[in-house]
Structure 1
Amino acid sequence: TIFPELQYPTVKFEDVGGNEETLKEVCKMLIHMRHPEVYQHLGIVPPRGFLLHGPPGCGKTLMAQAVAGELQLPMLKVSAPELVSGVSGESEQKLRELFDLAVSSSPCILFIDEIDAITPKRETASKDMERRMVAQLLTCMDDLNSLTMTTQILVIGATNRPDSLDPALRRAGRFDREICLGIPDEAARLRILRTLCRKLVLPEDFDYQQLARLTPGYVGADLMALCREAAMAAVNRVLLKAREPLQEQAQNCTPELTGSGEQTVADMNHHQQGELWTLVNLLKTTETLSEPELVSLSILMSDFQEALTHVQPSAKREGFATIPDVTWENVGALQEIREELTMAILGPVRSPQHFKALGLTAPSGVLLAGPPGCGKTLLAKAVANESGLNFI
């Protein structure tokens, strides 16, 4: 059986942006990894594992790597489908050997990614093998508790479907805690963007706050894709501008064709292919860019705004959150109600710092009441549109 080798991740907590509260919760569960004597003195079995769950791209794997990297602990990283075998009994044997390897490598972190693939609910499992694998995993987790209390092992499971796991796996003593990494809010997105953009070449007056406001529903992976797309937009902008003289020269060298109609068609075709021709020549050329060209290369806010049109957030991709196209111009009268809604909803969204300075908490919700057809849904859509909030 080929097993994963021990890894030593280099990711630190500083590389995980926008999850301070979650990191604090994780750190409380890691005390036994460095100070097992505390639990030994108290006579309590330390926590053996926790479950990370959240939407795809929210940073579950990164969080597990950061835990191992920050504590400089070896990590056994395995994807759950790798443990599944076609031969009867072999899958369970792989699980047992994996836990034995973790015990012999102690102190270490055992990270099982996509754990829902091998732990479906036993009453709905379609195959006997699935039930046996769940039972084997439960036994392995319980065996860790029966070992000497000084065994420094932490089991981390990651899934984006916690409800599909077998309930027996989620009880205390197995995965003691379930930590949810949700979709980040504006403040969390701001910290994530600052973390992602540390090594990027940006103008000194770059407005991170505005970019965080423009990206509702984006998770960490979406923001990373946004940065990559913005960098590509910046490269295209600078290089195409630098190669414009060559493009004009090529257009001037277009041979004359007989007949004015044919000439016009040729000009139009060449104009359409001008940018393509420039890109092809840029790819064919082997000379490196000059120092002035590289100095002028930085990622501007306009590049991020262009990237926003290409990168679609996970929430919108799943098809349930969109910004409606109803504005206040579509709503007649209701001026007083509009002012109330502005204070209750738009105020905390547009200027949260004022509310924080005054010690005010934003209202948790507004109830619109009235007879059918009086415009309750229309009002809600208009508010969502003006604030740029997603509407479900």
Structure 2
Amino acid sequence: MRMEKNTTYKFKKDLTSLLKARFPYIYIPTWEEDRVLSVIKGVACDKDTIRTPRQVFTWSLTSGIVGQSENVSQETKSPIKALEFIEKCSEASVFVLKDFHVFFGVNGRGQDNEIVRKIRDIASSIKQSNKPKNVIFVSPSLVLPIDLQKDISILEFNLPTAEEIKTLLNEMIQVNSSTGRISIDLNEDEKEKLAKAALGLTFQEAENSFARAMAQDGRLDASDIELILDEKCQVIKKTGILEFIKSNLKIEDVGGLENLKRWLMKRNKSWLDSAQKYGLPAPKGVLITGVPGCGKSLIAKSISAMWQLPLLRLDMGRIFSGIVGSSEENMRKAIKTAEAVSPSVLWIDEIEKGLSGQDSGDSGTSTRIFGTFLTWMQEKTEPVFVVATANNISKLPAELLRKGRFDEIFFVDLPTFNERKDIFKVHIKKRIKDDFVKGDFSLTDEVLSELSKITEGFVGSEIEQVVIAALFEAYSEDRSITFEDFEKTIKNIVPLVVTQAEQIRAIREWANVRAVAATPKEDLFNYELKETSKENNSEGNYNNPEDIKSSRGGRAIDF
């Protein structure tokens, strides 16, 4: 049985222990009042679970203390009166106080000192009462004054597990399929995927998302995963730190990089229960480094679509805040959100700009954030797949690069001949669809080979711009596109292999012994970069194949 299936059982066990030990104050931060209250009642009233069953009272600012049948007294709406009632109560009881955190303030500001003092005053009388009594604070956020930190025990109440959500899904399927108005087309694997997609939602949110999926088109099938992810998007947006990226990019839309693609495909569905039969953990993530413009970000987006998981982008600029201490809290909140909506893909673009961790001149904030991230990467148990991309890998410290943080480090080099053919094919098919625009132009293997030959050293983003610029040539003259449009555009582009030759050479030297080539070894031939300039190239073609010879970065390993 997986760990996640035992989380509710563990909560019940921990709560039972605290009640039996007569802990006076327990704090449960959760949005799910009804669900946690149901569990509390189940524990407190069960003679087999707890030796002395206890009556459960609830309190809120609008209703006061409410017993099992009716209000105890209207006067108990006042928090002081409620605490006095608890102190005088002579029966075995559990008091659940809702949203009491509003009296605790934030960082000592806005704190109601009288109420905090009263809580401390009655702590000993609650512990020494003839009949066992416990007070449980239930609030959506954890706010704990320093004065009460030694008196209150915090108990985590996790969101529903995949097993619990799947049980809910099966119950909804049973109820709605019997009416004949809802068509259900799901096998067991697809049910598991739907349940995993709803992880991170409260029980009520999951129920609402399944109901919406059924009501939208009168059926429930695997395609409704997208709708469930839309619900999770709301959770992510509310954090203000993570950004939900909706990507329809298919892995086939990324030209080349077959080695990296195969590695990713083999790890698809590895977060499902079926992977546990093989004793496999969920993959931690990959670090993708290499030449700018060669498809690192495209790969991150395509993983989300291929694995049908939400893609979360962590903007390091939002992590660093002007308030002292808030940057660290922002990082913890981002990690907690990513775990709450797991399984998910967490994308950190240009990680070297935000997690250098050293000598940033910010009183150690970057170092602390870096340390928090490293610890989480090493110890995380939730299926959050981290995709980090980096252009300047030399800025990253060695601690981030060692095994255990990422499953693999891939190096994306300049596209090979075959990869350039694939990239041209993707972009030409994507953009040239109209018959008038296409005209007599035919996308044959010979055309792709010729385009690939004359773009030696071009990166993927430059090839995309070649296609766009060629289309502008045809559009400006209101005619069909021709092969000559491509040739003209290519001659006018100074590729990155020329403008950043030294940087590319340095990246390759680093990757040769430290990273795995994203390109299969059968395609590995590449270039030795030479200094090239407009003055020594009379034809204006700065990417002459004669200037670029073999020597590729990244170890040639096939997956």
Say yes or no: TM over 0.5.
yes
Amino acid at match of 2:333: E
Report Cα offsets for 1:31-73 as digits up to 9, x if no partner. 423x3442x3444533211111111111111101101012221
**Conserved 8 A contact 1:183-1:218:** yes
Cα deviation for residue 134 of structure 1 reads 0.9
Note the alpha carbon deviations across 1:102-137, whole angstroms, 9 max, x for none. 111112111111111122153x54441121111011
Please give the alpha-carbon distance, in whole angstroms, between the structure 2 residues aligned to 1:216 and 1:158. 24
RMSD (Å), alpha carbons: 3.0
What secondary structure does 1:198 align onto?
A: helix
| Separation (CA, whole Å) in 1 of partners of 2:525 and 2:284 | 39
Distance 1:221 1:205, change over 3 A: closer
Matched position secondary structure for 2:373: helix
Q: Is the 2:248–2:305 contact (alpha carbons within 8 Å) kept by the matching residues of 1?
A: yes
Note the alpha carbon deviations across 1:163-201, whole angstroms, 9 max, x for none: 211211112221121111111111110111011111314
Flag the structure with larger Rg. 2
Residue 227 of structure 1 and its aligned partner are, at CA, apart by 0.8
Identity level (%): 27
Q: Distance in 1 between matches of 2:473 and 2:480?
A: 10
Which amino acid is the alignment partner of residue 49 of structure 1?
Answer: G
Unpaired runs of at least 5, structure 2: 1-238, 504-521, 529-541, 551-559
State the distance in 2 between where 1:25 and 1:192 align.
Answer: 20
- Superposed counterparts of 1:233-272, under 5 Å: 233-236=473-476, 238-239=477-478
Q: Is the 8 A contact 1:80 1:114 kept in 2?
A: no
Partner of 1:175, secondary structure, is: coil
Change (3 A) 1:363 1:160: closer
Deviation of 1:391 (Å)? 6.5
**Which of 431, 448, 455 is residue 208 of structure 1 equivalent to?**
448
1:12 touches 1:70 (CA, 8 Å); kept in 2? yes
SS at 1:6's partner residue?
strand
Aligned counterpart, 1:311: 493
Matched, 1:92 2:325: no
Answer yes or no: is 1:152 the counterpart of 2:383: yes
Structure 1 residue matching 2:345: 3-state secondary structure? strand
Kindly provide the amino acid, as one letter, of the partner of residue 337 in structure 2: L
Matched residue, 2:421? 190
Which secondary structure does the structure 1 equivalent of 2:386 belong to?
strand
User: Which residue does the alignment assign to 1:4?
Assistant: 242
Pairing 1:37-76 to 2, within 5 Å after superposition? 37-38=274-275, 40-76=276-312
The reply to whether residue 228 of structure 1 matches residue 468 of structure 2 is: yes
Q: Give the unaligned 5+ runs of structure 1.
A: 240-296, 322-355, 367-383
Q: Aligned in 2, Cα 1:389/1:49: closer, same or farther, shift over 3 Å?
A: same
Q: Secondary structure at 2:247's aligned position in 1?
A: coil
Partner of 1:14: 252
Choose which of 372, 379, 383 in structure 2 pairs with 1:136: 372
Q: Which amino acid is 2:259 matched to? A: E
Q: Does 1:163 align with 2:385?
A: no
Distance 2:291 2:367 in 1: 26
CA contact (8 A) 1:9 1:65 kept: yes
CA distance in 1, matches of 2:323, 2:254: 40
Tell me whether 53-62 or 204-213 shows the greater mean CA deviation.
204-213
**Structure 2 vs 1, CA of residues 176 and 385 (structure 1 numbering), >3 Å: closer, same or farther?**
closer
Deviation at 1:319, TM superposition (A): 4.9
Show the counterpart of 2:161: none
Q: Structure 2 vs 1, CA of residues 13 and 363 (structure 1 numbering), >3 Å: closer, same or farther?
A: closer
Tell me, in whole angstroms, the C-alpha distance in 1 between the residues paired with 2:525 and 2:299.
32
- Secondary structure of the residue that 1:154 maps to in structure 2? strand
Task: Report the 3-state secondary structure (helix = DSSP H, G, I; strand = E; otherwise coil) of the residue aligned with 2:240.
Answer: coil
The answer as to 2:264 corresponding to 1:106 is no
Q: Report the alpha carbon displacement of residue 365 of structure 1 after superposing the two structures with TM.
A: 11
Counterpart CA distance in 1 for 2:320 and 2:467 is 37
Q: Distance in 1 between matches of 2:486 and 2:251?
A: 26
Which amino acid in the other structure matches residue 226 of structure 1? V
Measure how far apart 1:139 and its partner are.
2.0
Determine helix, strand or coil for the equivalent of 1:197.
helix
Select 2:352's aligned residue among 95, 116, 133: 116
Tell me if the contact between 1:76 and 1:108 (Cα under 8 Å) persists in the aligned partners. yes
Q: Which structure has greater strand proportion?
A: 2
Q: Distance in 1 between matches of 2:460 and 2:527?
A: 27
Would the aligned equivalents of 1:68 and 1:75 in 2 still touch at CA under 8 Å?
yes
The 1-side partners of 2:524 and 2:241 are apart by 51
Kept after mapping to 2: 8 A contact 1:18/1:191: yes
Amino acid at match of 2:480: S
Count of paired positions? 271
- Sort the Cα spacing of 1:2 and 1:365 in 2 relative to 1 into closer, same or farther, 3 A: closer
How has the CA–CA distance of structure 1 residues 385 and 74 changed in structure 2, closer, same or farther, with 3 Å as cutoff? Answer: closer
Asked if the contact 1:32/1:152 (under 8 Å) is kept, the reply is no
Per-residue CA distance 1:314-343 (angstroms, 9 max, x = gap)? 11122559xxxxxxxxxxxxxxxxxxxxxx
Q: Aligned partner of 2:407: which letter?
A: D
